[in-house]
Amino acid sequence: MTIIKTVCHRDCPDTCFIDVEVKDNKIISMKGSTANPVTQGFLCPRGRGDPARVYSKDRVLYPHIRSRDNDGVKFKRVSWKEAISFISSKLQEAIQIHGEESVLLLDYAGNQGFLAMQYPHRLWNALGATKTDYALCSASGHKGIGLHYGLAYGVQPEELLDMEIIIYWGNNAKVSSPHMWTLSHKARKDRGTTIISVDPRNSETSQVADMWVSPRPGSDVALTYGIARYLIENDLVDTDFIERSSVGFQQYKEEVLTWTPERLEDVTGVSWDDIAKLGSIYANSKPGTFMIGLGLQKSLHGAEAARAVSLLPSLLGYNRGFHYSDSRGIDIDFAYLGGNRLTNKNCKTIHHVSVGSELVSGKFKFVFVYGCNPASTLPNQKSVRSGFSKKEVFTVVHDTHWTETAYLADVILPASTYLEKEDINFSNHHLYTRISRKVIEPSGESKDEVSLMHSLAKELGLKEEWLFEDPWKALNKTLAATFQDGTLADLKGGKVLKLKLKPMNEYQTPSSKIEFYSSEAEELGFSPLPEQLPTEIEEGWFVLLNSSIPKYTHSQFIDVYGPIPQIVWINPVDAKRLDIKNNDEITLFNDLGEVTINATVTNNTIPGVLWTPRPLTGVKGQPLNVLTDGSPQVIGSGPRFNSTKVKVKRAD
């Protein structure tokens, strides 16, 4: 038995260290490593389920090419040589006839290893292919917070142990970041820390918090102005810090004071007494922090909500007294690793959330997909799937499993899992890292992303030397300024290192200070102050929220744990009005499509608000994202998943 030390590569903020028991090239067990003080030696259900996923019957083990005969669509197994030759000919044909912009790269964080995710961009940059803006997840929150701070990094996980109050805002940490939650729970146990959850639904985190505040969806800016009003009116703000470290407070204060208790209650649905209570607890429990969830900013109001919450700590004199994501506070030269600055070609960019409408437009003739499952996870699914199904769109998918997207491909190539290759991955939430060792040999004929990129580059006859640079030498240049206490060589030697984080009292704004009134926003034509957008909804309509549940990372692990539960939460008041009972099949519908799922009647969501696990498939085979709009947010171009409006009817 051998113990091999590695790191999880899932699209998850915790990024656990894992110790894997291996015998005769087979994984026996996986355990959380105690070498990481944040992930603390335990794994979530996804980590524990990874061996079953590696050996799943749904693994793609060999290259396949789609064929059509009288029996319909089938996939024929072919050799790697045949597959690479076929792909190269189709790629060259698309470029020669329709131009480089007709080639679209669709990739994302299905495997967050730097060599798996970033290095292969060199090929597509060399070709001049179109790419997305990668705004599907956290971009709008980053941009919104960045308008006031420059970059969105903040409080570190270990600091949770010293907090007197922790406010999870739109953040179901108990599910989406269980190691953060464990640190918070330990702080409450050891020092009596107060934990508050701000969330329209009674999530797993809300259920065990000391206080649950449930504003109407989209009213977060107003709620922050209510807290600010309480702090300002009761002389609880740190005037010295505000004068020394910020600009624009007077304009912010003037806006805050327009939000009377009556107006706040009308917009948020939260009583002024509860708003004042929240403000009082926060002001009198120092130190404290806001843990801003990524789900908060996945709505029409997302960037506005994130920026509004981030400003509250500054009122009490905290330097970046919030946690969102540290990814942009760390110096990593991705432009070099991915080849963006190694080519003179100016690659076109499209909105990630608008891929569906882009595909059906007919402008793309060749699409290469890796590290994502767009035929499940992207909004506007009807257009996404229609686009992939167009005869003139040639699609290649490089994936570990037969996904919804793989079944729409013209060529499917087997990818190795993160346990079948060596790589590096950093957390967006903590600063600890170690090498991600290869645990077992690849299954079947699966190949990693680097070797595939090199094979395609050679077949295409590309001559740029930087396309074939040793990936670890490229990584060494990429990470030259990244570590606090070592080098890539130390990491490869087995050491645990910490990443450098930009100073907490440094602000990358035009004024080099916290900007309550954002000069950049004003220049870009946005509201300089966080703006409460309209939240009114017409009678008969619901706001549909969706979020992750413990056993799944987006569409991954369905082969291990079965289908994502086909349920929707509905408040008893709404259920009674619509004559809906528990477990009834109901149909959610809007102008984009419809999905039939089973009703769960519960007080865990407020009237007018529905909730489903994401990204489920309905009982009649419809993907949840057939209901979601593919229009990007104004700030940051992120998605609007949690602003989806639907009507409800009993299923036929």
What is the mean predicted confidence (pLDDT) over 198-225?
98
Convert the pLDDT of each residue in 150-165 to its tens digit: 999 999 999 999 999 9
Per-residue model confidence (pLDDT) at position 67:
86
State both tokens at 542. Answer: 């619901």
Three-state helix/strand/coil letters over 137-166 = CCHHHHHHHHHHHCCCCCCCHHHHHHCCEE
Per-residue model confidence (pLDDT) at position 125:
98
- pLDDT exceeds cutoff 80 at 133: yes
What is the mean predicted confidence (pLDDT) over 136-153?
98
DSSP lists the bridge partners of residue 547 as 613
Convert the pLDDT of each residue in 159-198 to its tens digit: 999 999 999 999 999 999 999 999 999 999 999 999 999 9
Q: What are phi and psi of 246, to 5 degrees?
A: -140, 165
State both tokens at 315. Answer: 């009122």
Per-residue model confidence (pLDDT) at position 72:
63
For residues 285 and 294, what is the distance between their CA atoms, to the nearest angstrom? Answer: 25
Per-residue model confidence (pLDDT) at position 1:
84
User: Is residue 588 classed as helix, strand or coil in its secondary structure?
Assistant: strand
Nearest alpha-carbon partner for 233 in 213, 249, 256, 252: 256
For residues 292 and 309, what is the distance between their CA atoms, to the nearest angstrom? Answer: 8
Domains of the chain (ranges; CATH) run 64-133+334-425+444-478 (3.40.50.740), 140-327+510-524 (3.40.228.10), 542-650 (2.40.40.20)
What is the mean predicted confidence (pLDDT) over 547-572?
97
For residues 50 and 477, what is the distance between their CA atoms, to the nearest angstrom? Answer: 32
Average model confidence (pLDDT) for the chain? 97
For residues 74 and 26, what is the distance between their CA atoms, to the nearest angstrom? Answer: 31
Neighbours of 420 (CB within 10 A): 18
Nearest alpha-carbon partner for 470 in 498, 492, 485, 490: 492
Per-residue model confidence (pLDDT) at position 98:
98
In the chain, the percentage of residues whose pLDDT exceeds 70 is: 99
Letter for the amino acid at 22?
V
- pLDDT exceeds cutoff 70 at 71: no
Q: What are phi and psi of 579, to 5 degrees?
A: 55, 45
State both tokens at 20. Answer: 């894997």
Convert the pLDDT of each residue in 504-537 to its tens digit: 999 999 999 999 999 999 999 999 999 999 999 9
For residues 414 and 370, what is the distance between their CA atoms, to the nearest angstrom? Answer: 11
What is the mean predicted confidence (pLDDT) over 214-232?
98
- pLDDT exceeds cutoff 60 at 70: no
Per-residue model confidence (pLDDT) at position 576:
97
474 close to 342: Cβ distance less than 8 angstroms: no
Convert the pLDDT of each residue in 422-469 to its tens digit: 999 999 999 999 999 999 999 999 999 999 999 999 999 999 999 999
Convert the pLDDT of each residue in 539-555 to its tens digit: 999 999 999 999 999 99
For residues 511 and 518, what is the distance between their CA atoms, to the nearest angstrom? Answer: 10
Strands 194-198 and 432-433: unpaired
Per-residue model confidence (pLDDT) at position 69:
62
State both tokens at 30. Answer: 């996986």
Helix-helix angle 139-149:302-315, to 10 degrees: 40
Convert the pLDDT of each residue in 579-634 to its tens digit: 999 999 999 999 999 999 999 999 999 999 999 999 999 999 999 999 999 999 99
State both tokens at 462. Answer: 């590309």
Per-residue model confidence (pLDDT) at position 652:
80
Who contacts 639 (Cβ-Cβ below 8 Å, separation ≥6)? 135, 136, 298, 352, 353, 379, 628, 632, 633
What is the mean predicted confidence (pLDDT) over 16-40?
96
